[in-house]
Amino acid sequence: MKEHLKHDLEQINHLLDIIKKQGVEYLKLIGARPTSVNHIPLWETQNLPESGYGTEETLKIFNQRFEPIMVGSSGPRYLGFVTGGTTPASVAGDWLTSIYDQNTQSTIGQGDISANIELETIHLILELLGLPDSFLGGFVTGATMSNFTCLGVARQWVGKEQGKDIAKEGISGLIKILTATPHSSSIKSLSLLGLGSNNIVKVKTAEGEREAICIRDLEDQMIKLNGEPFILISSGGTVNTVDFDDFMEIKKLKEQYNFWWHIDAAFGGFAACSETHSHLVKGWEYADSITVDCHKWLNVPYESAVFLIKEQYKILQVETFQNSNAPYLGDPLENFGYLNFLPENSRRLKALPAWFSLMAYGREGYKNIINQNISLANQFGQLLERSNDFKLLAPVRLNTVCFTLKDSEKQDEVGRFLETLNDTGKVFMTPTFYNGHSGIRAAFVNWMTGENDIQLIFETMNEVITQLK
């Protein structure tokens, strides 16, 4: 092992060169890389080698066993889930994150300065999204963890309103959560936080087959709570049909009722970058906390998301996340350190890929990516609407197209169609269920996707549907 380490260090230049070459080839040909593996081969799990192989030999093993079946998930025709691409600058930042391997914690005192880079990146994100600096933010692994972090502080806020310190005392009694169409990750967070996913008060959705919250019913539910503090989870883009709650109306309710307002804007928040769509998030700055994913529309590698929580709740945040039995860490309110403001203690410099990308492409660059994806989603939606075989399940509001087979008798075949389509390896989409229909979602969140991809996708869909007839 020692020999391998010594040799690897001596050969580091050569090793990084061959990795770079392989990475460049992958990125250059990513458009041609299959978007799925039809049948994941059965392989024998290998045992831990006694003295190891060294890096070059290990790369050969990786290339033999795994590389050929890696899918082009950051490529232009991967429209599954809400999977963002990776900009070249973000890849550069990501590589350097590993090279420098900082443990990102405090902004003052002895130690490294990576937390300052993180705070600066949060400032850049707030600027990009047109949000005020009154939000304190940080990086976590994804929108799930961001929802968890925000709802953790919301829980502490409700406790304080009820005269309890939940972080110290634990939960006693019910905390009501009002929401209409929450993402599954918020429900998961409620379970994790001991708030209980059953304690949701399901608010009606707005009329007209919408997923957005019905403001009238929301107010009715608030009245029923009779002054009891509660949490509202609202949607800044539902995952199925990208519907947005009316934030200006919620702002008005906030002036009258006592609640913590959380917005899950994992990808929809980027509507703020587009002149034609920024109205969708109008008023979101009045929320107490917001979730924004960076590995989606910011196009940085997994795992990257931010929580944005109003700085005025700093104390509640510290109460929730502080390492209270470690006096050597100092007073968290005086010595800012991320480890007292979010779930993880040790953490890599997650902000660096985002910092690189924001600095490299700026406001204009992101505006172009967002507008391009919106335009492509609309073009794709129009093709479907004009076709004899497909129909939209919801209007294209932003960047996602939710559709199904036109023939309502063929509902049972939606799954088979999608499986066959994904098996082509030319495009990847995800199944869904919406408004009583089996459906398909195609999410446009990749800077590389172009009009030629839309044509290729549509042609492939037509080939598959003809083949299945």
Ligand X SMILES: Cc1ncc(COP(=O)(O)O)c(C=O)c1O
Count of residues engaged in binding ligand X, rule: CB under 6 A:
14
Q: Is 299 in the site for ligand X (CB under 6 A)?
A: no
* Binding span for ligand X by CB under 6 A among 89-97, 128-136, 251-259, 262-270: 262-270
**Tokens matching residue 275:** 């002149």
Nearest residue relative to ligand X (C-beta): 142
- Rounded to a whole number of angstroms, the minimum distance from the CB of residue 6 to ligand X is 40
Q: Is 264 in the site for ligand X (CB under 6 A)?
A: yes
Q: How many CA atoms lie within 13 A of 169 on its CB side?
A: 12
Say which DSSP state 403 is in.
Answer: E
Q: Which of residues 134-163 bind ligand X (CB under 6 A)?
A: 142-144
- Rounded to a whole number of angstroms, the minimum distance from the CB of residue 393 to ligand X is 17
Report, in angstroms and rounded to the nearest whole number, the Rg of the chain calculated over CA atoms: 24
Element (H, E) at 177: strand 177-179
Q: Supply the DSSP string of 427-457, one letter for each residue.
A: -B-EEEEETTEEEEEEE---TT--HHHHHHH
Closest CB to ligand X among residues 150, 339: 150
Q: Is 250 in the site for ligand X (CB under 6 A)?
A: no
Closest CB to ligand X among residues 35, 185: 185
**Tokens matching residue 400:** 């996602």
Closest CB to ligand X among residues 183, 350: 183
Q: Distance between CA atoms of 93 and 352, rounded to whole angstroms?
A: 5
Q: Is 277 in the site for ligand X (CB under 6 A)?
A: no
Q: Distance between CA atoms of 199 and 34, rounded to whole angstroms?
A: 43
Q: Is 293 in the site for ligand X (CB under 6 A)?
A: yes
Q: Which of residues 95-134 bind ligand X (CB under 6 A)?
A: none
Q: Which of residues 164-183 bind ligand X (CB under 6 A)?
A: 183
Q: Supply the DSSP string of 360-398, one letter for each residue.
A: HHHHHHHHHHHHHHHHHHHHHHHHHHHSSSEEESS---S
Closest CB to ligand X among residues 157, 267: 267
Pairing of strands 430-434, 437-443: antiparallel
Q: Is 267 in the site for ligand X (CB under 6 A)?
A: yes
Identify the residue among 81, 107, 119, 123 touching ligand X (CB under 6 A).
81
Residues interacting with ligand X, by CB under 6 A? 81-82, 142-144, 183, 185, 237, 239, 264, 266-267, 293, 305
